[in-house]
Amino acid sequence: MSSSVPPTPAPLEELRVKSDRRLVQALLMTISFPAAFFAAVDLLGIRPGETSFASRVFIRVLSLAVPLGGLWLVRRSHTREALSRSTFLVALFSVPVLVTVLLQQHRGSTIVLAAYLMVLGVMYGALPNSLLRQVGPPLLLSAFLSWARVWWLNGSSDGGMAADLVVLAFLNIIGVVAVRRRLALQDRVSESWQMEAEARERERAAIHSAHLATQELRALRGIIPICASCKQVRTDAGEWQQIEQYVREHSDANFSHGVCPSCATRLYGEFMPTAPADGVKAGDL
């Protein structure tokens, strides 16, 4: 994958981990039921005096232990790395179990590989992981199956050997391509989420900048044309306004009227025997 792909956002990664964990758990639980059934049927149908009893018991117990142990590991995997490691171990340990079960057949047996091919499909499609961890176990299993098909099951005299090998090869090719496409799609989704998060962050920054700009515009700055006589202010549109109205419209300030000492003496001097020391409010007169 390209190194320029941004990291997966935390909410999306958490959603993926939960979805993948539920998928793997459902798969392992589904496998556990037939494994337990065949183990019980096989063990009940074999007499302890037979020479293959011990090895068959070992294989059946191991085939049941892999999905149950994997289920235990996956239930405790709450991060991507932990789930990846658990899934890889389940797939990896299933390879020797499947090979051992296959080698239980007598040399030259006519057993077909349909069930094992289905397992390969499950490994590629239902055990989501990184590229190397997901394709490694099925490729390893495919190598053992190819060897067994050529040198153990029917040898070169079986007419179906070529068909099995061709199907095996095509299944692996399709599986690797599917895994790569899935990972590429995940990277594109992660990139889209990251771009959306960055767009939302830029939008919040733009709103904050606009708010600051609005506050900046509300502050009176520069040269304000004002009448030297009546003190009206000329607006940008060329109109003349009272200075109180202009300040209210162009700032967050307001006015509370009063009378300064000089004006109080000039206007109301006959009512005031002495000049007031401080400004007098209009309501005080």
CA distances (Å), origin 41, targets 37, 45, 230: 6, 6, 109
pLDDT tens for 22-57 read 888 888 888 888 777 777 776 676 555 444 666 777
Specify the higher pLDDT residue, 230 or 181.
181
Q: How far is CA 47 from the centre of its chain?
A: 53
User: What are the phi and psi torsion angles at 241 (to 5°)?
Assistant: -125, 155
Sign of CA dihedral 250, 252, 256, 261: negative
H or E element at residue 65: helix 53-75
Residue 276 scores a pLDDT above 70? no
Helix (H) or strand (E) holding 97: helix 80-103
| pTM, to two decimals | 0.57
Instruction: Work out the pLDDT band at 223, boundaries 50, 70, 90.
Output: confident
Mean pLDDT of the chain: 76
The reported pLDDT for the residue numbered 155 is 52
Task: Please tell me the number of Cα atoms within 13 Å of 167 on its side-chain side.
Answer: 16
Task: Taking residues 180-196, report their average pLDDT.
Answer: 83
User: At residue 92, does pLDDT exceed 50?
Assistant: yes
State what percent of residues in the chain have pLDDT above 90. 2
Comparing 272 with 129, which gets the higher pLDDT?
A: 129
Residue 17 has pLDDT above 80, yes or no: yes
State yes or no: pLDDT of 73 exceeds 70: yes
